[in-house]
């Protein structure tokens, strides 16, 4: 039997209630993220963009300094930290009504970011790229997003061969989750990793069977926003993929998503409101 899904997160003493799904806005402190409008290149720009997202209803902001799009350049941990720490510090001072997440797969960056004010760690590698990550997160006692990925951001497109897609992803995720639980980590979110070591056809299969990820009893984070699965399928560009994002986010919500990680906050908030009204009318 599936476990009863946890519906709260402890964010450094504050409770985030996920009874109604929430939105995580994306702030990429990079020059080469696949969607140009998500890039923030200065502290002032980050504060301005964060203010817009908060006004539109974002509960969380995810700050990342390492581009994980296929083929993106690798950067060192020092450069990654130098990109994100001033942003985290500035946002913490500027806004008291939003929680900050750090998007990193490095333990050293994680520790610095949490010390600067982040209260959640979003690791695209699910702990596979830094052997110190799980111990660091457990020591810091902050919620952790365990995402499924194979390989690295530079090689993940070469790792899309699965014997049985959904069972394989569930098994690999469970192996990492068990390691976290053994360290006493309670607050874990699961992200199936759309676009990471998965073809567009596989991404649609994962979305179609998203309910399977409820078996972990953990909140489910979904990141489909403007990804190539949408724009390649529709033969458009990322800048034109908002409508497709809304469609897939709607499906994700009906299949159990608790957090939508998006570039476009207002539209995602509206999706949550409409799906919630539909459910309450049942």
What is the average pLDDT across 34-42?
A: 67
- Overall residue count recorded for the chain in this entry: 282
Please check whether residue 194 lies inside any domain of the structure: yes
CATH number of the domain encompassing residue 103: 3.20.20.20
Is residue 227 annotated as a catalytic residue, yes or no? yes
Report the largest interatomic distance among the alpha carbons of the chain, rounded to a whole angstrom.
52
Whole-number pLDDT of residue 61: 98
Is residue 179 annotated as a catalytic residue, yes or no? no
Instruction: Report the domain count for the chain.
Output: 1
| More confidently predicted of 127 and 152 | 127
Q: What is the pTM of this model?
A: 0.94
- Domain containing residue 253: 20-69+77-280
* Catalytic residue (choose from 92, 261, 266, 279): 261
Whole-number pLDDT of residue 6: 84
- % of the chain exceeding 90 in pLDDT: 84
pLDDT tens figures, 103-135: 999 999 999 999 999 999 999 999 999 999 999
* Catalytic residue (choose from 227, 255, 266, 279): 227
Please check whether residue 182 lies inside any domain of the structure: yes
What is the average pLDDT across 35-43?
A: 72
Q: Per-residue confidence at 74, pLDDT binned at 50, 70, 90?
A: confident
Please check whether residue 171 lies inside any domain of the structure: yes
Whole-number pLDDT of residue 154: 84
| More confidently predicted of 282 and 30 | 30
Please check whether residue 11 lies inside any domain of the structure: no
Contact 15, 52 (CB under 8 A): no
**How far apart, in Å, are the Cα atoms of 199 and each of 151, 165, 229, 230?**
14, 11, 8, 12
Whole-number pLDDT of residue 1: 42
Q: Give the E-state strand segments of 148-232 in sequence order.
A: 188-191, 221-222
Contact 3, 215 (CB under 8 A): yes
Please check whether residue 9 lies inside any domain of the structure: no
Q: Per-residue confidence at 260, pLDDT binned at 50, 70, 90?
A: very high
């Amino acid at each position: 039997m599936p476990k009863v899904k946890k519906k709260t997160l402890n964010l450094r003493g504050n409770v985030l209630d996920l009874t109604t799904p929430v939105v995580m806005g994306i702030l990429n402190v990079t020059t080469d993220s696949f969607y140009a409008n998500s890039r923030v290149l200065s502290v002032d720009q980050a504060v301005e963009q964060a203010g817009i997202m908060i006004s539109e209803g974002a509960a969380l902001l995810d700050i990342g300094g390492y581009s994980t799009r296929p083929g993106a350049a690798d950067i060192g941990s020092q450069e990654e930290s130098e990109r994100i720490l001033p942003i985290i510090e500035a946002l913490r001072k500027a806004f008291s009504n939003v929680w900050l997440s750090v998007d990193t797969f490095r333990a050293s960056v994680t520790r610095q970011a949490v010390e600067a004010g982040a209260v959640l760690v979003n690791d695209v590698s699910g702990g596979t790229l830094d052997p110190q990550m799980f111990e660091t997160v457990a020591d810091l006692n902050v919620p952790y997003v365990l995402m499924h990925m194979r390989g690295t951001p530079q090689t993940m497109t070469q790792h899309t061969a699965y014997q049985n897609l959904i069972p394989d992803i569930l098994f690999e995720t469970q192996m990492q989750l068990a390691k976290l639980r053994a360290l006493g980590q309670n607050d874990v979110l699961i992200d199936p990793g759309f676009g990471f070591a998965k073809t567009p056809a596989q991404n649609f299969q994962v979305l179609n069977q998203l309910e399977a990820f409820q078996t972990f009893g953990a909140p489910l984070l979904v990141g489909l926003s403007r990804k190539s699965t949408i724009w390649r399928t529709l033969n458009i560009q990322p800048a034109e993929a908002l409508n497709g994002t809304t469609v897939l986010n709607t499906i994700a919500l009906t299949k159990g998503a608790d957090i939508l990680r998006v570039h476009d906050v207002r539209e995602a908030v509206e999706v949550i409101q409409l799906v919630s009204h539909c459910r309450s009318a049942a």
